[in-house]
Amino acid sequence: MTFEEKPEGNGSLVDENQLDLSAKHQANGKPAASGRAKLPARQEANAKCGLPSKSLSTYTWQEIQRHNQKTDKWLVINRKVYDVTGWADRHPGGRRVLNHCAGEDATDVFRAMHPDPDIVRLYLKPLLIGELAPEEPNQERNKNSQLVEDFQELRRTLETMNMFNANLGFFFLHLAQVLILEALAWVIVWHFGSGWLITIFIYFLLTVGQAQDSFLQHDMGHLSVFKKSKWNRLMQNFVIGHLKGFSAKWWNNRHSQHHVKTNIYPKDPDVVFGPFFVVGDLQPVKYGKNKIKYIDYEKQHLYFCTVGAALLMPVYLNLDSIRAMYRRGYWEHFFPQDIAWVSTFYIRYFITFGPFYGIFGTLVLIYLVKLLESLWVAYVTQMSHIPMKMSTEENQDWFSSQVLATCNVEQSFFNDWFTGHLNFQIEHHLFPTMPRHNYHKVAPLVKSLCAKHGLPYVNKPILKAFGDIIRALKKSAALWMDAYYSHPET
pLDDT (tens digit per residue) in 338-364? 889 999 999 999 999 999 999 999 999
Give the highest mean pLDDT range of 113-117, 196-200, 338-342: 196-200
Instruction: Enumerate the β-bridge partners of residue 130.
Output: 57, 81
Report pLDDT for 47. Answer: 42
Please name the amino acid found at residue 26. Q
Report pLDDT for 275: 87
Query: Using H for helix, E for strand and C for coil, what is the string for the chain?
Result: CCCCCCCCCCCCCCCCCCCCCCCCECCCCCECHHHCCCCCHHHHHHHHHCCCHHHCEEECHHHHHCCEECCEEEEEECCEEEECHHHHHHCCCCHHHHHHHCCEECHHHHHHHCCCHHHHHHHHHHHEEEEECCCCCCCCCCCCHHHHHHHHHHHHHHHHCCCCCCCHHHHHHHHHHHHHHHHHHHHHHHHHCCCHHHHHHHHHHHHHHHHHHHHHHHHHHCCCCCCCHHHHHHHHHHHHHHHCCCCHHHHHHHHHHHHHCCCECCCCHHHCCCCCCCCCCHHHHHHHHCCCCCCCHHHHHHHHHHHHHHHHHHHHHHHHHHHHHCCHHHHHHHHHHHHHHHHHHHHHHHHHHHHHHHHHHHHHHHHHHHHHHHHHHHHHHHCCCCCCCCECCCCCCHHHHHHHHCCEECCCHHHHHHHCCHHHHHHHHHCCCCCHHHHHHHHHHHHHHHHHCCCCCCEECHHHHHHHHHHHHHHHHHHHHHHHHHCCCC
**Mean of the per-residue pLDDT values for the chain?**
88
CA distance 429 to 226: 19
Does residue 428 register a pLDDT over 60? yes
pLDDT at position 28 over 50? no
Q: How far is CA 72 from CA 62, 312, 477, in A?
A: 15, 35, 38
**Contact by Cβ (8 Å): 398, 151:** yes
- Minimal CA–CA distance to 399: which of 472, 454, 469, 439? 454
Q: 117 or 421: whose pLDDT is higher? A: 421
Q: Residue 253 is which amino acid? A: N
Assign 335 a pLDDT band (cuts: 50, 70, 90).
low
* Cβ contact 440:424 at 8 Å: yes
Quick check: 471 pLDDT over 60? Answer: yes
pLDDT in tens, 274-319: 788 999 999 999 999 999 999 899 999 999 998 999 999 999 899 9
35-39, 66-70, 101-105: segment of lowest average pLDDT: 35-39
pLDDT above 70 for 95: yes
Average pLDDT estimate for 138-151: 96
Neighbours of 55 (CB within 10 A): 10
125 pLDDT above the threshold of 60: yes
Is residue 487 predicted with pLDDT exceeding 80?
A: no
Nearest to 67 by CA among 40, 31, 38: 40
The model's pLDDT over 57-76, given as tens digits with 9 standing for 90+, comes to 999 999 999 999 989 999 99
Instruction: Name every residue whose Cβ is closer than 8 Å to that of residue 187 and which is 6 or more positions away in sequence.
Output: none
Confidence of residue 334 (pLDDT cuts 50, 70, 90): low
Q: Is the pLDDT of residue 200 over 50?
A: yes
76 phi/psi in degrees, rounded to 5: -115, 125
pLDDT at 216: 98
